[in-house]
Structure 1
Amino acid sequence: MNRIVNTLALFALIGLSGCASMKVTDTSLLDGRREMGRADMKLYPVRIVAIDGNYTVDRDTVRAEPGQRTLRLLAAPVAGFTQPVEKDVPFTIEPCKRYYLAARREAPLRQDFQLVVQQVEDRLDCVKS
């Protein structure tokens, strides 16, 4: 039993040491969760469904390569509607950034929205190439 535990511990140590030597490339992060604490009632969460036609599986934060991209976004339906709104939006992604995105609706019952960048942060764990 001790031999099995020691072997598993050794594999875990090797795996963790490999993670420490990995460097994050110049990718950026896109986050569509609405930042709480903001008083703008016209902002709503947005989900990044696809980037350049490549569908994502992440629900909250999506990793993206820098450059001019087309984001497919999904915003929840407003009151009285059942279908969410899906829209393609051109977006320029800079390397090593974290973007907080939101949907801005001009009226509470209007389905259409505009993409808004709430905040941009530099990623400290990123290495520009």
Structure 2
Amino acid sequence: MQLKSYKLELLIVTSVILSACGSAPLSFIEAKPRSALMPLNHYPVRVIAVDESLQFSMPVQLAAGKRQLVLEAYPSKSAARTPQKVVFMDIQPCTRYFLLAKRSSAMQADWELVKTDTETVSGCNPEDEMKKSQ
């Protein structure tokens, strides 16, 4: 009897996980250039957190809406430590954002965020994604 109960619980958990995959938000942050060529004094950024939730993988997948990002620029050869910055972005549904850090020189640790490009995520319906994010 316990084995049947265990199988039922496993089936319920699996179906919940699979249904969550189908409703995952389809907006992304790519903290790297879209092409292999990076402009002078531009560096990849690392997404530390989104809405106070730590991030460990790239690209970062997130729901549409106003989001708080904690970002850190990759160090240059001359500036080993870089400050983390809090940035607010209005994330649109079905959009992939390409972000970079720009320094006035390779010697500087400070940087500013540059949104280099966006692209539409194929096979994604913006109206459905907005409903999911609410």
TM-score, length-scaled by structure 2? 0.70
Contact 1:31–1:100 (CA<8 Å) still a contact in 2? yes
**How much has 1:92 moved relative to structure 2?**
1.2
SS of structure 2 residue aligned to 1:109: coil
In structure 1, how many angstroms separate the alpha carbons of the residues matched to 2:38 and 2:26?
30
1:20-31 correspondence to structure 2 within 5 Å: 23=22, 25-31=24-30
| Counterpart for residue 119 of structure 1 | 117
Q: Which stretch shows the higher mean deviation, 74-83 or 64-73? A: 74-83
Q: 1:96 and 1:32, CA in 2 relative to 1: closer, same or farther beyond 3 A?
A: same
In structure 1, how many angstroms separate the alpha carbons of the residues matched to 2:113 and 2:106?
16
In structure 2, how many angstroms separate the alpha carbons of the residues matched to 1:82 and 1:37?
23
**How much has 1:55 moved relative to structure 2?**
0.8
Contact 2:26–2:121 (CA<8 Å) still a contact in 1? no
In structure 2, how many angstroms separate the alpha carbons of the residues matched to 1:109 and 1:80?
5
| Counterpart for residue 40 of structure 1 | 39
SS of structure 1 residue aligned to 2:87: strand
Moved over 4 A (4+): 22-26
Contact 2:79–2:107 (CA<8 Å) still a contact in 1? no
1:60-71 correspondence to structure 2 within 5 Å: 60-71=58-69
In structure 1, how many angstroms separate the alpha carbons of the residues matched to 2:98 and 2:120?
12
> Over aligned residues, Cα RMSD in angstroms?
2.2
TM-score, length-scaled by structure 1? 0.72
**How much has 1:26 moved relative to structure 2?**
4.6
Give unmatched runs, 5+ long, in structure 2.
1-17, 129-134
In structure 2, how many angstroms separate the alpha carbons of the residues matched to 1:120 and 1:92?
13
> How many residues are treated as equivalent by the alignment?
109
In structure 1, how many angstroms separate the alpha carbons of the residues matched to 2:27 and 2:52?
17
Q: Which amino acid aligns with 1:66?
A: A
Q: 1:100 aligns with which of 80, 98, 115?
A: 98
1:9-24 correspondence to structure 2 within 5 Å: 23=22
Q: Give % identity.
A: 27
In structure 1, how many angstroms separate the alpha carbons of the residues matched to 2:109 and 2:82?
8
Give unmatched runs, 5+ long, in structure 1.
1-18
Query: Which structure's residues are more often helix, by fraction?
Result: 2
Q: 1:96 and 1:29, CA in 2 relative to 1: closer, same or farther beyond 3 A?
A: same
